[in-house]
Amino acid sequence: MTNRQQDIDDLLSMFHDFDIVTAELNGETLVLAITIPWGSMWIKDDYTYTIRLELMGCTYFSCDYYKIISKELIKIGDNRYQRDTEKITTTNPAEINGLELSIQSRTNIQPDTFELHCISNEEIDFATITLTTTDFRIFDQDGKEITLEIMKQWSTDWWDGIQKMWDEQKQQRPANI
């Protein structure tokens, strides 16, 4: 894996609870507006901080999402159930606008191919976005380009804050006797 491919993997590995606001393909550049929860580090209870991500070399884009047909669970094995869904596939990024997809994790399939695993709302069970990318640029909420190192620092600050919260909650629990 080249350094730039590792950088892309590092960037996408940070995506958890990142909500896709808009997606569009301009040539071979996938442009995503993404709301990240990290804004609450700077403004109390502000979960609306939006970054813009440009993924260059996007020669492939596909999104499989699963529209819920019935809320009833269908048994698919011993102690395994799933909702009745209809699989919908799109290769047009703009078609995912409004689906309220929230990226939870990523899988690196090949050096330049990634899957973004998403949850959604009560109408969409889950989704998987598959895309190629060979380079990226990140812009903060004010449109200023930021580096991967800044994103990594934000991620570290965020998860350190989460760990501190968990530690404080643990200390406040009464000890079991």
Q: What is the pLDDT of residues 134-152, one digit of tens each?
A: 999 999 999 999 999 999 9
pLDDT at 177: 53
- Reported as a single tens digit per residue, the pLDDT across 3-42 is 989 999 999 999 999 999 999 999 999 999 999 988 877 8
Sorted by where each begins, the domain ranges of the chain are 3-172
Reading the block at residue 162, the tokens are 């989460």
Nearest to 127 by CA among 48, 62, 47, 83: 62
- Measure the CA–CA gap between 161 and 81, rounded to whole angstroms: 35
Return the C-alpha torsion angle 68, 69, 70, 76, nearest 10.
Answer: -80
* Least-confidence region, from 4-18, 26-40, 57-71, 160-174: 160-174
Between 123 and 166, residue with greater pLDDT? 123
Q: pTM for this one? A: 0.86
pLDDT at 175: 65
Rounded to whole angstroms, the maximal C-alpha distance in the chain is 64
Confidence band (pLDDT; 50, 70, 90) for 108? very high
Reading the block at residue 143, the tokens are 């449109």
